[in-house]
């Protein structure tokens, strides 16, 4: 397996691999009988496609849960990518602020890059749009069908996917269990969160969900968190919670409002409340 001294790989369900870049950024490879799908591509320090093709000999297509820079980094390694229609013109992210802030934060927190990586030359080439993925779509990997749901909130182009075979809900950055929900990002809209979460709660009442995955957390086995988060976001939108703490979001975000709930914290800035 070609981890390049940068990725780690965990098979958390049969034919279902969580790929972690730099110990932080989560991507997924789901393998069917005929083909596989790579979901999200991290920050692009390593060669994700080469890693995926060292795990499976099936053809690997590539799709995105949304188009934030830390999910699109290695997407250019594929000829074409699948993405929500809102995201098809957002495949060349503006990295001027994000990468500078990220590099400072990464090293300040005591992290390092592989010896072969030249941080001064770091860039994310644009990916090439291939096809759209949106509410009601589905695709088959051969004995393994995935359904697509529109779940805006973190980003208007955010989608979630449900894997019927292994009962996995791939949520992008919508459901980050036992971690932070990031509503301080420029694309976040608080009022979009409750409908998306209620849709996923309804799905969980109709089908079995064994694992909830996200772009930054470990696979989570308790789907009751979805309805819990929906209620918390509804109450937050309605102004029913105590005033937030003001915390330092680091060089990327500056000061943010922080709300703490039993199973997540929320970082938010005023633009997301409008």
The model's pLDDT over 61-118, given as tens digits with 9 standing for 90+, comes to 999 999 999 999 999 999 999 999 999 999 987 665 566 667 777 777 778 888 898 8
Tell me the residue range of the domain where 44 lies: 7-273
pLDDT at 200 over 70: yes
pLDDT at 256 over 90: yes
Residue 2 in domain: no
Residue 136 in domain: yes
Q: Mean pLDDT in the chain?
A: 94
> What's the pLDDT score for residue 212?
98
- pLDDT band for 236, please (50, 70, 90 cuts): very high
pTM for this prediction: 0.95
Give me the mean pLDDT over the 28-35 stretch. Answer: 98
Q: What is the DSSP string of the chain?
A: ---TTTEEEEEEETTEEEEEETTTEEEEEEE-SS-EEEE--TT-SS-HHHHHHHH-SS-EEEE-S---GGGSTTGGGSS-EEE-GGGTT-SS---HHHHHHHHHHHHHTT----TT--GGG---PPP-EEEE--TT-EEESSS-EEEEEE--SS-TT-EEEEETTTTEEE-TTS--TTSEEEE-STT--GGGHHHHHHHHHHHHHHS---EEE-SSS--B--THHHHHHHHHHHHHHTT-SPPPEEEE--TTT-EEEEEE-SS-EEEE-GGGG-
Residue 179 makes CB contacts below 8 A (sequence gap 6+) with: 214, 216, 217, 264, 265
Phi, psi dihedrals of residue 116, rounded to the nearest 5°: -80, -5
Total count of domains within the chain: 1
Residue 139 in domain: yes
pLDDT tens string 166-184: 999 999 999 999 999 999 9
> What's the pLDDT score for residue 96?
54
CB 84 within 8 A of CB 133: yes
CB 216 within 8 A of CB 245: no
Residue 86 in domain: yes
Residue 216 in domain: yes
Residue 1 in domain: no
Angle subtended by helix axes 224-237 and 193-206, to nearest 10: 160
Q: What is the CATH number of the domain that holds 66?
A: 3.60.15.10
Residue 31 in domain: yes
Residue 47 in domain: yes
The strands making up 81-83's β-sheet, listed across from edge to edge, are: 7-13, 16-21, 25-31, 36-39, 60-63, 81-83, 129-132
Structure tokens at 140: 């088959």
């Amino acid at each position: 397996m070609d981890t390049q001294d940068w990725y780690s790989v965990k098979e958390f369900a049969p034919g279902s691999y969580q790929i972690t870049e730099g110990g932080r950024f989560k991507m997924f490879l789901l393998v069917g009988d005929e083909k596989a799908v790579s979901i999200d591509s991290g920050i692009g320090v390593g060669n994700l496609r080469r890693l995926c093709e060292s795990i499976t000999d099936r053809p690997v297509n590539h799709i995105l849960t949304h188009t934030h820079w830390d999910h699109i980094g290695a997407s250019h390694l594929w000829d074409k990518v699948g993405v929500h229609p809102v995201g098809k013109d957002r495949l060349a992210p503006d990295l001027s602020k994000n990468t500078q802030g990220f590099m400072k934060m990464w090293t300040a927190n005591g992290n390092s890059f592989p010896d072969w990586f030249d941080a001064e030359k770091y860039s994310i080439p644009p990916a090439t749009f291939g096809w759209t993925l949106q509410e009601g779509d589905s695709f088959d990997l051969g004995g393994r069908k995935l359904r697509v749901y529109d779940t805006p909130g973190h980003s208007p182009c955010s989608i979630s996917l449900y894997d019927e075979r292994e009962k996995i809900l791939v949520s992008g950055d919508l459901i980050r269990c036992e971690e932070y929900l990031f509503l301080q990002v420029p694309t976040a809209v608080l009022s979009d969160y409750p409908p998306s979460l209620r849709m996923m709660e309804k799905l969980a009442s109709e089908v079995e969900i064994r694992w909830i995955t996200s772009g930054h957390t470990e696979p989570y086995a308790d789907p009751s968190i979805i309805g819990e988060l929906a209620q918390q976001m509804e109450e937050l939108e309605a102004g029913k919670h105590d005033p937030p703490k003001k915390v330092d979001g680091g060089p990327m975000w500056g000061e943010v409002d922080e709300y703490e709930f039993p199973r997540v914290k929320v970082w938010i800035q005023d633009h997301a409340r409008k």
